[in-house]
């Protein structure tokens, strides 16, 4: 069904605080557009994007090796706020380590990708007891997903230290990794190897806990489900904005 005039005028504008990285920002935008149920251009939601790749690296900041990204996050957030965004989404999991401090400095809400993802996992995969996490070292160190699952019955499995650095981080940050050259066959191979290690440990699903990971591994690529937080965030954004999600 086409949205009524009343529904259209009450819809909210989505702000994407992007650039971390640009490929993930494009992926989130695409998922929102493709996931919104429409019949014409005018049925789509209004989306504002600040693709700011100059925001300092989140993992380096968490490790104490680089400047905090918070000032740049606040700057971009306030810019989107002034432009008319009613709420924000951030296509970077590691950046959510700074979510609380960012939210305090903005007048509009910022959806939390980890909270939305865990809520989806608990509703969608009620029978799962172990889930494997592929994420940046920064995300692992902050314990974003671990904390979100503290009071839930799902055990979170992470790669060995060697696999984390030589496969997961290499696939994301390496010279032939996603941030450098996009979803290359090299990055795909490394991520699949890391995922298989987690499956050997008993993972009944794989959580793509870095927004670059879904660019190289998708649901259907493995014998177990692959959970894409960007897809979850896109759906949450569409619904919060007053749009209609296209069920598949």
92 a catalytic residue: yes
- Within-domain flag for 246: no
Asked whether residue 18 falls in the same domain as residue 77, the answer is: yes
Asked whether residue 80 falls in the same domain as residue 165, the answer is: no
- Within-domain flag for 61: yes
By CB atoms closer than 10 A (0-12, 13-18, 19+), residue 119 is middle
- Within-domain flag for 14: yes
Asked whether residue 154 falls in the same domain as residue 223, the answer is: yes
Give the Cα separation of 55 and 179 in Å (integer). 14
Q: What is the mean pLDDT of the chain?
A: 94
Measure CA 201 to chain center.
24
pTM attached to this predicted model: 0.91
Average pLDDT over residues 191-206: 97
Give the Cα separation of 30 and 239 in Å (integer). 16
- Within-domain flag for 247: no
pLDDT tops 70 at residue 78: yes
Q: Which of 61, 80, 89, 92 is labelled catalytic? A: 92
Domain span holding position 153:
113-229
pLDDT tops 90 at residue 48: yes
pLDDT tops 80 at residue 1: no
**What's the Rg (C-alpha) of the chain?**
18
Distance from the first to the final alpha carbon of the chain: 16
pLDDT value of position 126: 85
**pLDDT tens for each residue of 177-188:** 999 999 999 999
202 a catalytic residue: no
- Within-domain flag for 245: no
Average pLDDT over residues 94-113: 97
pLDDT tops 60 at residue 3: no
pLDDT value of position 152: 82
Where does the chain show beta strands of DSSP type E?
A: 14-18, 47-51, 87-89, 130-134, 155-157, 206-208, 226-227
How far CA 107 is from CA of 36, 48, 81, 161, 184, in Å, comes to 26, 16, 8, 40, 39
Asked whether residue 107 falls in the same domain as residue 141, the answer is: no
CATH code of 172's domain: 3.40.50.1860
Work out how many domains the chain is built from and give that number.
2
pLDDT tops 80 at residue 9: no
Asked whether residue 80 falls in the same domain as residue 122, the answer is: no
Asked whether residue 15 falls in the same domain as residue 105, the answer is: yes
Q: Which of 45, 210, 222, 237 is labelled catalytic? A: 210
């Amino acid at each position: 069904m086409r949205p009524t005039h009343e529904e259209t005028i009450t819809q909210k504008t989505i702000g994407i605080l992007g650039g971390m990285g640009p490929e993930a920002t494009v992926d989130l935008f695409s998922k929102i557009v493709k996931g919104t149920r429409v019949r014409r251009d005018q049925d789509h939601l209004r989306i504002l994007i600040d693709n700011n790749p100059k925001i300092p690296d989140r993992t380096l900041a968490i490790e104490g090796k680089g400047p905090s990204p918070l000032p740049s996050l606040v700057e971009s957030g306030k810019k989107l706020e002034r432009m008319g965004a009613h709420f924000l989404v951030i296509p970077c999991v590691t950046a959510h380590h700074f979510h609380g401090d960012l939210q305090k400095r903005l007048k509009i809400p910022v959806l939390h990708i980890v909270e939305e993802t865990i809520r989806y996992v608990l509703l969608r995969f009620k029978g799962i007891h172990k889930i494997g996490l592929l994420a940046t070292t920064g995300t692992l160190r902050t314990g974003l997903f671990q904390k979100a699952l503290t009071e839930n019955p799902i055990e979170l499995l992470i790669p060995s230290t060697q696999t984390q650095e030589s496969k997961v981080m290499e696939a994301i940050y390496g010279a032939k990794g996603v941030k450098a050259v996009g979803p290359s066959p090299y990055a795909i191979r490394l991520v699949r190897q890391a995922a298989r290690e987690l499956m050997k440990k008993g993972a009944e699903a794989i959580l793509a806990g870095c927004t670059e990971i879904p660019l190289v591994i998708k649901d259907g690529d493995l014998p177990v489900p692959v959970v894409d937080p960007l897809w979850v965030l896109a759906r949450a954004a569409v619904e919060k904005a007053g749009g209609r999600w296209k069920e598949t």
